[in-house]
Structure 1
Amino acid sequence: MRLSLLGLLATAGVAGAAPPDAAKLEFFEKKVRPVLVGHCNQCHSADTKPAGNLRVDDHHGLLTGGNGGPAVVPGQPEKSLLLKRVAHDAKKQMPAEGEKLSPAQIADLTQWVKDGAVWPAVRVPATLGKGRPGYDKLRAEHWAFKPVANAPVPAVTDAAWPRDDIDRFVLAALDAKGLKPVGDADPVTLVRRVTFDLTGLPPTPAEVDAFVRDPSLPALVDRLLAAPAFGERWGRHWLDAARYGESTGPSRNIPYPHAWRYRDYVIDAVNADVPFDRFVREQLAGDLLAAATDAERDRLRTATGFLALGVKDVNQRFKVRFEMDNVDEQIDAVTRSTIGLTVSCARCHDHKFDPIPTTDYYALAGIFTSTDATAGVRNKMGGGGLDYYAPDGLVRLSGEGPAAPPAVLAKAKAELDTHKKAWDAIRGTPEGLKKAADGQPTQRPFRLKFEKAQADYQALTDPAARGYAVHGAREGKVADTEVRLRGEAEKRGPVVPRGFLTAFPVPGAAAVTATESGRRELADWLVSPNNPLTARVAVNRVWLHLFGRGLVNTPDNFGVMGDTPSHPELLDHLAGRFVRDGWSLKRLVRTLVLTRAYGLSSEATPAHRTADPGNVLLWRHTPRRLEAEELRDAVLASAGTLDRSRPEGSPARALKMIEMRDNGPEAKGVHEAADRSRVRSVYLPLLRGVTPKALEVFDPADQTLVTVKRDTTTVPGQALFLLNSPFVRRNALALADRLLAATTDDAERVTTAYRLTLGRSPSQAEVERALGFVGEYESAYRAEPRPLPAVPRPAAPRPKGPTPEVIDPDQIDQTGEAVTEDVVRPRDSRTAAWLALTQALYGSAEFRYVK
């Protein structure tokens, strides 16, 4: 139906309207366009920063108008602001500079508006909405667009090996290639693996000992799934896909001071095992879902931060481009994070590879143009006096909070009214535009006083300032939108009904209702059990995080240019099982880590490497490098300095929603605090473009894009960080102090150091080598001590007794560490030697990798 409608509209010109009358069009070209070009374009066109946010070189710009409202109302000259400004408004008469319009020119403009304000039709390509050759074949044949199959569980050669049907699929693929799996991992290796995979933290020596004594994997897994750390680890996976960040990014970086509420929502939802289909619904349409209490309603509103917290180019001059860029970013985030398709490639033209015509893109775009998800920011030319901050773009939470005293509020309101009146009286007038002695327009001080009064009043009345607002989404002006030809926001083609992709059918999916944006129906369409992609994409990503490689090795692209499944029947088995089990993430994770395949050793034989060098067939468990957050947290945990409590909010909450110029003092202060912080890495501030130093060299997620599979690089900067970073040296010193305080037996100290950092006991040869290293280092240090900084911190006596489980950084300094901004040095040769050993362990490949 959509394609047929578009075929009809394409013959009718713009947005389904009849072609304009030739005589009226000729009148526009001869009489009206020359006036607009000659007298208006210099201040109100794409070649300028449009004054008042008004465009006169764009028909839609005239109809929607600028800050003052619609400039032209077709057929109603008396309601058209353009005519008032050029003819009747003495204070704000246009053009502001140069020759005023003649009575004849004003009469021509009036006649043009009276006759309907005709404008040349945008030329619509005849191919619009028809798709590319081969689309029908792709819809029918591409594996990912076919319904999830219920494949029979295969027979295997070794019936005793599998623990689950998942193992049978794995072993059957190995049997087909004549390969056998390697042996099982030993308990010490397995407990470290599963603890990191489920919590992002290393097991303590006591936890390792307990598992070795009683290697009950189900009991261990159940304990880890119930721990708050599970949500912190697996919530971070979703935050990667949700391109979570605490500022707008690109050219003008504006903080999102309330973004942490969405972060906490994600962590809490994962810990509560909110079913994945419900999880998606909440983030796309939480504001439209029923809630029994104010707290639940606020939780659902906060969930829609998923749509609001993307990158926004607030420096974009044109509001319509700003809006359509945001829509594009939302379409990309939604589709890549849930169904693994690059739908945004169809913004300018039909998708070159996947059967996604441009009309499908704008069917989705209409859902988001009907949604208000501004995150509290606007583009620079968006109007108003508070720069990029748009408090009305934040979503209100329940409650009001303490209000300012009535007298204070009344005084601020009176000052605002006074300065607004003065600003309105002079703005745009010849007097206001006249240059003052400083070269600035005379009206500038009036604007600055108004903006300050507005900011002062907002500080008293803005619910966000009192904690009763959040970045999120809500319903906007509900309407279908037009195709934007070649992706250009101003070049509007025919209107496309709101709807979903036509690449694959989703039986039973409801159509978009006329009275709502369509986000509710879009969410239902995405998580329908009949959608062939969503469950497949979800289980593939869980497999990726547990096995190091997805069954589909392009986890964010299930389209034609993506990979094909290595085990297609297993993928569908998992997808169907995931849905039948209620979309439970915890149940899926538990099932996978209890398989025989997950518990394999990471050892490799030459024969295996030759037959399957990439371990695609899963004959062993592939070792993986710790992610940036895991590595930092592991350093803190082993040193005894990790604070496992959840902090209140984020350091970014203290920032105002104004530009951080060159990511300067504001961002620097926040991230210096991050470098000193002891909380888990998921709680560090993540202003876009300013990554905490302890994370940046180990391939953290790109906060500007949907990230499903992180890069894993090995570069010199990583070794230099582990060698020179004050963070690593400070915690290596804390670990050294912990060892020295715990016992007087040096061999026992070495064993404890290995167990805390590597999760295992050292061999006798490793103990002897470490003791030899410590002795040689201490002697060399004593013979040629390194000079202390010129102005060290005063040292306090070292406290007696065992080192506490969590050490305060200031306490570390007082036990003998002499510190400048970038220097961490031990107090004596003995501490220096153990510091060198612990830092060497942090720098080892075994510390950075999980077998």
Structure 2
Amino acid sequence: MYTRLITGLLSIAFAGLIISLPGCKDSTSSGDLPETVSYNFHIRPLMSDRCFACHGPDKNKVKAGLRLDIPELALGELKENKGKFAIVPGKPEESELVKRISSTDPTYQMPSPESHLPLLTENEIALVKKWIRQGAKFEKLWSFTSPKKAVLPKVKGEDWPKTDLDLFVVKKMEEKGLKPNEEADKERLLKRVSLDLTGLPPSLDLMDRFMADKSDEAYEKVVDELMNSPAYGERMAVHWLDVGRYSDSYGYQDDNIRTQWPWRDWVIHAFNDNLPYDKFLTWQLAGDMLPDADKEKILATGFLRNHKYTEEGGVIEEEYRIEYLLDKTKTYSKGIIGLTVECAQCHDHKYDPISQKDYYKMLAFFNNTPEVGYEGDISVSKPAKAPRLEITTADLDGVLSFIRQLEKDTMMVSVMDELDTLRKTYVLNRGQYDSPTDEVKPQPLSEVMVFDTTAYPRNRLGLAKWTVDKNNPLTARVFVNQVWQMIFGQGIVKTAGDFGMQGDLPSHPELLDWLAVDFMENDWDIKYLVKQIVTSATYRQSSSVSKEKLAIDPDNIYLSHGPRFRLPAEFVKDLILASSGLLVNKIGGPSVKAYQPDGLWEAATSGRGVLATYQQDHGEDLYRRGMYTFIKLTLPPPSLMIFDGSNRDQCEVKRPQTNTPLQALVMMNDPTMLEASRVLAEKLVKEQTGTEDKITKAFRLIVCRVPKESEKDLLNSYFSEQLGIYQSQAIDPSEVLNVGEFPHLEVEKSEAAALANVIQLIYNMEESITKT
């Protein structure tokens, strides 16, 4: 029996790590042709797959002088076939492109056999013909056109939608032959929304109140309660810490300590205070330049200073100063406007309309800070690099009251500042810091939106205003997509950091645009956006999935069932701490060093500075939320990294989700999990209840529902077996109970050890660390 249960434990643990594969791009290989064929959504993806290898943006690989990615060239006379045209608008029968893709002659057909690319299907050929017949209209990249709020679609299932966004979702389902799931049961729905809004499981009190509330408003009341919890800001902040590459050390070889955590406290405060997203961005990009700049707005600019810094002697100062500018530029472009621009550091972007000169014009906005590449040969790390903001204990009673405590009476945080005189910016030949060429002036990407110098100054404040201008086609779309991704596990645009030519097309373009416009119309209200999503019928669906739905939509791109995926790394720890009663509910403050295997830091350090050796914290610091775990860039927290936590060495807008044996082993052996099992067991043994009641309570705390009878039978049987082993002294119960630093309760050890093993089994259920 014991062997069978342990085998079951391993199976459950590994099963819990199974994750759906990511979605794929929309296909046009089957089904009816769209009424209006779009270049952006139907033709360009097809050409990108089959044509652009030889007739696309790579100038070195263009064949026959034909480029199909530029309208003027695609519609022009063929260089090697005078009098012929690849595309003749309105006349597919005269278009050489149609003749070639329709041909069966291997010496004439396209794609050619030597390209090893698949031929177009009959449906794809018909699609190209229809596009040409309709005028062969080329379109500006979809994400560079301003979003429009489409008319709400008419749908067959009129009773299902609860919010306007549901109309777009169910319309797409109907097109794909899908139907929505029934609503999830109340227990699972409560766990889902609690994890999504706070990163924590619901308390027993909340479970009981919600289950007892039979009113139509019961769910919305719970949503409001969770969003008003201080834990909401912590949950929302975790994603932004990834975007803002927050860490507690500088990186590079010495990787010494820094004190940027007050910026993290500000991010939590901003989400809890529901700071509108336009202000949230403006303060982080240029809070120091606002007319009413105060210490809070200046602190927000720490966002731009979270990158790595070198403290190694002998470095070339200008080389690293440029490295810091490159990082700021990448973080802004990927995290805020959703474009991959870094390749334009060395040459014109191959796919997107971003030249190398465009890149350095954007970098120029960040080039006027007094920040330097190296602050000098110092034996002890400065916890903040200049320019710095001084925070005093007096500030904690004023504008910075959201900061919980200071490590000293006065602290310094790295922030932004501007030079009195403009520093010149040059295009760097091949991206080399010491190879300046043409001088450029600050200007964001004109292909995205014109930068009106009469409305925007040529500085970071001007960049911020341009970014949050409601005519900017990217900013609202990108953030709405990131929030959608946080909740559903995958964005409407799967490539959340790439809205360019090589990024994925949105699965629901009308929905994305509707949400973006609606978000801006409602004053960039983040809580409004989040509530709109989690109160939708789309969100409330059961996560169960039929074989028929899996066959049609294996990745749930069309959202015909609820989200189901493993919790982010920090929230796995949070669930364990919260369910066991160990969690210390303190908001903000310095990062903490929890349990960690010996020797890891020492093996990945130069041996210099405050962080040369790992000095574990004790007491309540061991039981803080996962987001407060100390992040050393050269060796991020191993238990978080095993669960795909961000290593924070650069901007990250989407974490990978993997499943490895190490993840199951962490769940069975991590000291925090073992200690939580022991502590919860001791608390339950102290209670004057029967064994079945104790196990049921543990199950509810961890899995957030009442166990089924079959589950009760299995767990009770396992408890009895384990109790017999410990009572017979076949195994000393102290081997289970002597773990962790939390004080022990005076309880019968055999019962506590047996119950701790049962709790470990529950923690290792697939459902426990999965949002279902």
Q: TM bucket by the smaller chain? A: 0.7 to 0.9
CA distance in 1, matches of 2:162, 2:389: 50
CA contact (8 A) 1:320 1:489 kept: yes
Gaps of 5+ in 2: 1-59, 61-66, 75-137, 396-405, 594-603
Secondary structure in 2 matching 1:469: strand
Residue 580 of structure 2, aligned match among 639, 644, 647: 639
Separation (CA, whole Å) in 1 of partners of 2:620 and 2:254: 24
Aligned positions of 1:219-618 closer than 5 A: 219-256=221-258, 258-291=259-292, 297-315=294-312, 317-373=315-371, 378-379=373-374, 383=376, 389=382, 393-397=386-390, 466-476=409-419, 477-506=421-450, 510=454, 513=457, 518-618=459-559
Whether 1:708 aligns to 2:706 is no
Determine if contact 2:734/2:749 at 8 Å carries over to the other structure. Answer: no
Deviations 1:687-733 (A, max 9, x none): 21333344232111120121221111111111111222222111100
CA distance in 2, matches of 1:782, 1:842: 24
The verdict on how the C-alpha distance between 1:520 and 1:845 changes in structure 2, with shifts beyond 3 A counting, is same
| Aligned-partner Cα distance in 2 for 1:686–1:217 | 37
For the residues of structure 1 that align with 2:489 and 2:393, how far apart are their CA atoms?
47
**How far did 1:550 drift?**
0.7
Q: Are 2:232 and 2:272, in contact at CA under 8 Å, matched by a contact in 1? A: yes
Give secondary structure in 2 for the equivalent of 1:546: helix
Q: In structure 2, how many angstroms separate the alpha carbons of the residues matched to 1:841 and 1:390? A: 42
The structure with the largest alpha-carbon Rg is: 1
Local SS of the residue matching 1:184: coil
Counterparts in 2 of 1:743 and 1:135: CA distance versus 1, 3 Å: farther
C-alpha distance 615-392 of structure 1, shift in aligned 2 (>3 A): closer
Correspondent of 1:835 among 756, 759, 762 = 756
8 Å contact from structure 1 (residues 632, 681) kept in 2: yes
Are the aligned partners of 1:507 and 1:530 in contact in 2 as well (CA < 8 Å)? no
Report the AA paired with residue 834 of structure 1.
L
* Aligned-residue offset at 1:607: 1.1
8 Å CA contact retained: 1:307, 1:330:
yes
What SS does the aligned partner of 1:302 have? helix
Distance 1:839 1:755 in 2: 14
1:663 to 1:338, Cα distance in 2 relative to 1, 3 A: farther
Is 1:179 aligned to 2:178, yes or no? yes
User: Which residue identity is paired with 2:285?
Assistant: L
Closer, same or farther: CA 647–241 of 1 in aligned 2, 3 Å: closer
Q: Distance in 2 between matches of 1:715 and 1:511?
A: 52
- Residues 390 and 469 of structure 1, relative CA distance in 2, 3 Å threshold: closer
Out of 678, 685, 688, which is 2:633 matched to? 688
Q: Give, in angstroms, the shift of residue 815 of structure 1.
A: 4.2
Structure 2 residue matching 1:470: 3-state secondary structure: strand
SS at match of 2:614: helix
Is the Cα contact below 8 Å between 1:399 and 1:468 reproduced in 2? yes
Distance in 1 between residues matched to 2:310 and 2:504, nearest whole Å: 33
1:169 match: secondary structure: helix
Deviation at 1:187, TM superposition (A): 0.6
Task: Within 5 Å, give how 1:128-167 maps onto structure 2.
Answer: 141-167=140-166
Q: What is the identity, as a one-letter code, of the residue corresponding to 1:473?
A: M
1:399–1:721 Cα change, 3 Å: closer
Q: CA deviation at 1:772?
A: 1.1
Report the secondary structure of 2:548's partner residue. helix
What's the RMSD between the two structures over aligned residues?
Answer: 2.9
Query: Which residue does 1:679 correspond to in 2?
Result: 624
Q: Structure 2 vs 1, CA of residues 165 and 399 (structure 1 numbering), >3 Å: closer, same or farther?
A: closer
Q: CA deviation at 1:660?
A: 6.0
Alignment of 1:762-841 (within 5 A): 762-786=707-731, 810=741, 812-813=743-744, 815=746, 828-841=749-762
Q: 1:229 to 1:289 in 2, by over 3 A?
A: same
Cα 1:507–1:348, aligned 2, differ >3 Å: closer, same or farther? closer
Counterpart in 2 of 1:822?
none
- Aligned pairs (5 A) from 1:697-736: 697-736=642-681
Query: Letter of the aligned partner of 1:175 in structure 2?
Result: E
CA distance in 2, matches of 1:507, 1:157: 44
Deviations 1:524-568 (A, max 9, x none): 111110110010001011111111211001111111111000000
Q: Distance in 2 between matches of 1:495 and 1:715?
A: 50
Equivalences, count? 617
Change (3 A) 1:193 1:387: closer
Contact 2:200/2:578 (CA < 8 Å) preserved in 1?
yes
Residue in structure 1 matched with residue 47 of structure 2 by the alignment: none
Higher RCO (CA-CA < 8 Å; seq separation 6+): 2
1:758 to 1:373, Cα distance in 2 relative to 1, 3 A: farther
TM-score in terms of structure 2 length = 0.75
Any idea what the Cα deviations from partners look like across 1:382-431, whole Å, max 9, x if unmatched?
A: 546667649771423376989xxxxxxxxxxxxxxxxxxxxxxxxxxxxx
**Kindly tell me: are residues 746 and 618 of structure 1, through their superposed partners in 2, closer, same or farther at Cα, counting changes over 3 Å?**
same
Post-superposition offset of 1:614: 1.0
Q: What secondary structure is seen at the aligned counterpart in 2 of 1:243?
A: coil
Residue 266 to residue 785, structure 1, CA distance change in 2 (3 Å):
same
TM-score of the two chains, using structure 1 as the length reference: 0.68
Q: Can you list the C-alpha shifts for 1:492-511, whole angstroms capped at 9, x where unaligned?
A: 10101111112222475756
1:703 partner SS: coil
SS at structure 2 position matched to 1:493: strand
Aligned amino acid, residue 479 of structure 2:
A
Which structure 1 residue ranges, 5 or more long, are not aligned? 1-126, 403-462, 653-658, 796-808, 817-826
**DSSP 3-state at the match of 1:475:** coil
User: One-letter code of the match for 2:654?
Assistant: K
Which amino acid counterpart does residue 278 of structure 1 have in structure 2? K
Name the CA shift for 1:672/1:715 in 2 (closer, same or farther; >3 Å): farther
- Are the aligned partners of 2:679 and 2:744 in contact in 1 as well (CA < 8 Å)? no
Q: Helix, strand or coil: the match of 2:743?
A: helix
Amino acid at match of 1:305: G
Per-residue CA distance 1:309-368 (angstroms, 9 max, x = gap): 112244371111111111000000111110111112211111111111010111122221
Separation in 2, partners of 1:587, 1:158: 25
Contact 1:674-1:685 at 8 Å conserved across structures: no
Cα deviations by residue, 1:160-217 (Å, 9 ceiling, x for unpaired): 1111211111111111122111111111111110000000000012211211121511
Quote the offset at 1:136 in angstroms: 8.2
Cα 1:385/1:703, change in 2 over 3 Å: closer
